[in-house]
A and B are shown apart, each in its own frame.
Chain A
Amino acid sequence: MSGRETAGAAAEKPYVAATLIAPEPPPPSARRVSKARIAGTAMLLLWVAAAAGLLAFLAREWNPELLARYGPSLLSGLLVTVELVSLSVILGAALALPVAAGRLSANKLFGAAAYGYVYFFRGTPLLAQTFLIYYGAGQFREPLEAAGLWWFFRDAFNCAAFTFTLNTAAYQAEIYQGAIRGVARGQWEGGRALGLPRAIIFLKVIAPQALVTALRPLGNEVIFMIKGSAIASVVTVYDLMGETRLAFSRSFDFQVYLWAAALYLVLVEALRRVWDAAEVRLTRHLQRAQAAPKARKAAGKQMGA
């Protein structure tokens, strides 16, 4: 009965709309300008104003003579900074391995020594450590001369590099031991079940997995070293910071600090980008099929909305 009725109705009034409603944008939400947008726009405007002020300051104080005079020395300072950091990070990595081994070892004495080393270097300021070694070495001049090491400790750059190496070794040791501990126990057991010797298990099974975990904190550590290396300027090393302070003390022109800031920011940001790209490349075997990250991102956006 009802079927016939609807059939009749359909004949008179087709379900297909005869007139189309023109497409319209969705109605405006109740509050068009949220507080967040007001605050955000205000902050952005503040940034724009700050950048404009900075540019105006630089334009007014622009001094090609200053750039010609101190520009090259700042760049050579940058080179010293890079040298100092790469030397310390690489030597620190070599020193960190035995310390990490100590932290992981079952031998109580070895473990306590490694723990004490790490605790001291992570618990005290880098500046105080640098003073301790640079000025402290001067006090032990005679024994150092007798040992034939005085030429090394006489130079501020060597002392700074030595301190930074000891410091970063402590931090890197913690990173490595954490990463090695993070590898599942079954990996060791699996290696043993295959009859591999311990050294080979470590090199071929554990280390590659641990390094993947260590990659990100290691990148942060390198960035911390770049920033920390500015401390070397306090003990008369003419790195980027040292050259900048020298230029400022001679010219009393504040803009040299801004140049140095730009150089440091570029250095740190470039390293971070390169490190991120390297991490993606080195962990590509761990990433899911290509669609997955995109889908995850979309899901994250939906959740955030």
Chain B
Amino acid sequence: MPALAELFGLLSFGPEGWGDELLAGLGVTVALALVTLPIGLVLGFLLALAKDSGERSLVTSATILTTIFRGLPELLTLFIIYYGGQIALQQLFRLLFDRYIEFSAFTAGVIALSLVFASFASEVFLSAFRGIQKGQYEGAHALGLRPAATMRLVILPQLVRLALPGLSNLWLILLKDTSLVSVIALNDLLRNTNIAVGVTKEPFFFYAVACLIYLALSILSSFGIGGIDRWARRGEAAR
């Protein structure tokens, strides 16, 4: 075992150290999560609206989607999207444009993770919708608000408050799930750690560092979530 100082020397920036590689990987991890989040949120919200619509065909089709992506292992979803998407896209492009196209691992990661995120988020939104009293809709109707304005001005501000705990949980799960893309050769934090381990033969140290970085990300997120929570509750009386 090398001395601790030597180990930490491995984390330095520059050609000898792995600090810059890990930082670049962290950038990819954070970018992946940040790109996935808005797509997953919007898709999840739409799915929740569909499930809440009372229109049977809409409920059924939304339920099929969420059942599939809630039941499949995230790793398998990722593989199916990555390889299946590759096959589908290539055939499509060969047919239409007679060209070869690369389906990037990042895109596959975003699609797979947002489908999973949306499926779980739709359940969170759905139970948040159930938590809003019918009187809120009736009150908005009595004020002459159109359905879109009712949603935006009356329902959404309350929905955010109700859905925030569930959604922040999903965000933390998403942060951790991004590590799966390392398996399809996207250079995220964990994959760059793998490369560092391959070269330095110091698996325990590097994986521990990677774990601590993920931990730091989730601690940082909980501060952010606390801020959003205070913002969402700003209209409530101080207790």
A212 within 8 A of B: no
Selected contact of B72 from candidates A41, A127, A261, CB within 8 Å: A261
Bound form: Cα–Cα A254–B79 in Å: 10
Say whether B84 contacts A135, CB under 8 Å.
Answer: no
Bound form: Cα–Cα A227–B59 in Å: 25
Selected contact of B204 from candidates A36, A136, A233, A304, CB within 8 Å: A136
Q: Mark A240-284, 1 if CB is under 8 A from B, else 0.
A: 010011001000001001101100110011000000000000000
Say whether A131 contacts B73, CB under 8 Å.
Answer: no
Selected contact of B57 from candidates A43, A136, A241, CB within 8 Å: A43
Residues of B with C-beta under 8 A to A290: none
- A136's nearest neighbour on chain B, judged by CB, is B204
Instruction: Give the residues from 141 to 189 in chain B that come closer than 8 angstroms, CB to CB, to chain A.
Output: 172, 176-180, 182-183
Number of residues on chain A facing chain B (CB within 8 A):
51
Number of residues on chain B facing chain A (CB within 8 A):
51
Residues of B with C-beta under 8 A to A248: 83
Bound form: Cα–Cα A233–B76 in Å: 11
In the complex, what's the smallest C-beta–C-beta distance from A237 to chain B, in angstroms?
13
Selected contact of A264 from candidates B72, B203, B208, B211, CB within 8 Å: B72
List the one stretch of A63-71, A116-124, A146-154 in contact with chain B: A116-124
Say whether A36 contacts B58, CB under 8 Å.
Answer: yes
Would you call the interface of chain A mostly helix, strand, loop, or mixed?
helix
Bound form: Cα–Cα A229–B183 in Å: 15
Say whether A241 contacts B214, CB under 8 Å.
Answer: no
- B175's nearest neighbour on chain A, judged by CB, is A125
A58 within 8 A of B: no
What 6 A-B pairs come out closest when comparing CB atoms?
A40-B58, A40-B57, A135-B203, A136-B204, A230-B73, A43-B61
Known: A127-B182, A264-B71. 14 other contacts (CB 8 A): A37-B58, A43-B50, A43-B57, A47-B64, A120-B215, A123-B214, A124-B176, A128-B179, A136-B207, A230-B74, A231-B75, A233-B75, A264-B73, A305-B54
User: What are 12 A-B contacts with C-beta separation under 8 Å?
Assistant: A43-B58, A47-B61, A47-B64, A128-B193, A131-B203, A132-B211, A226-B73, A227-B74, A257-B79, A260-B76, A265-B67, A304-B54
